[in-house]
Amino acid sequence: MTNATMAAMNNDLSATEAARLLGVSLPTLYSYVSRGLLVSVSHGAARRKRYPQEEVLRLAARKNDARRGGQAAVTAMHWGLPVLETQISHILEGRLLYRGCDATLLAQHASLETAASLLWDDGAIDYFHQDAPPLPPQLASAPDATPLTRAMVAMVAMAMPASTPAPATTPASMLQAGPALMRTLAAALLQTAPSALPLHQQLALAWQADAEQTELLRAALVLLADHELNASTFAVRCVASTGASLPAALGAGLAALSGDRHGGGSAAARRMLTQALAASDARDAVGAYYMSIAPEFAGFGHPLYPHGDPRAAYLLGILATLAHEPPRLQAILAACATAEELLDARPNADLALAAMELAFGWPEGAGMSVFALARSAGWIAHAAEQAASAALIRPRARYIGRHLRD
């Protein structure tokens, strides 16, 4: 028996195990196979049937979702049931996985470009062997706008039917256009000319980051490249499902990211840190700050990570090793620890971005720029996946208003 065969067997289930996971009888299990809901494979001389574990788990999830339909479906739109299937990323037992690869392990060595290629098609093609795109004229027309506004203006302009080349609308064309769009986003966010340099190096040059900070930027971009079906990614998929172009879908993602309860988290966490550093009693300042804002929207806690956000743990862990460098960093980390103790909540990625931005003297809003540039990689993956499904996302609403009256 080959190693490959043994590995496959280890991931297969017996009929009894599969039926137990599904909560059905053996006859019902066999009926699933005959109806095409589940596949089985023959094994051994007795030709006993075995069932791929992933297929069984997927069917069990679908059955569970169906049983919990109706009112339970309402929670699907806020930290509840899955509402669509994806092969791109998922969160499992406190870990963020990109196509099965642990994002924190990738952050040790990968670039955002490497992570993007993984998210787009499992790394089959390196899409980034392209020259930098030309500077869109729209980027030079709004010099006083915020970085995110400039990025949205660029995407909206590129989404117009008259733009050249024609906007990408098919899965293949979306992935081919991905590098140019990400480099255009970087140019808009940094107010520089588009460049083919690695994206973390573009940020480092614009913000005069040293070698250690550059490595931290690289890791942050990888860790934030995708995060399952968050609000901005869902917006991207909804727009892509209509047949709209990739720039239009990315514009929707940027618009969603601009909200205080999504991309604005690092700015809120920065305000908390600034107030704590300026106060005579940091604990009192932190307590007062979180009387007016929910911690999860300002650096602490995450519903998908009850034991702590691994992205924050990774980045703050690196910052702790650099505490002897920037004078303010030690005080910033102390303020983070004070807030964690007071709130009895673990830091999330927004706090890590805010700490980096504040400690290294990067421009205010740098955390949002890192977030937007990183997440564009995931948005492109989801837009292409949605386009490939050829399905329109059109959920129904539960009506709770007046009924027809005579």
Q: Name the residues annotated as catalytic.
A: 302, 350
318 membership: H or E segment, kind and range: helix 310-321
How far are the Cα atoms of 90, 177, 226, 265, 300 from residue 306, in angstroms, in the given order? 15, 37, 19, 18, 11
Cα gap 80→395, rounded to integer Å: 15
List the beta strands (DSSP E) in 266-353: none
Cα separation, 156 vs 382, in Å, equals 19
Q: Please give the single-letter amino acid code of residue 213.
A: Q
Half-sphere exposure of 310 (CA within 13 A, CB side): 17
Identify the residue whose tokens are 């030309």: 134
- Separation CA 239–CA 319 (nearest Å): 38
Asked if 177 and 248 touch (Cβ cutoff 8 Å), the reply is no
The candidate with the shortest Cα–Cα distance to 138, out of 104, 185, 205, is 185
337 phi/psi in degrees, rounded to 5: -65, -40
DSSP for 218-230? HHHHHHTS--SS-
**Strand 95-98, strand 89-92: pairing:** antiparallel
CB 187 within 8 A of CB 135: yes
Q: What is the 3-state secondary structure (H, E, C) of 276-317?
A: HHHCCCHHHHHHHHCCCCCHHHCCECCCCCCCCCHHHHHHHH
For 345, residues 6+ apart whose C-beta sits below 8 A from its C-beta are 295, 300, 301
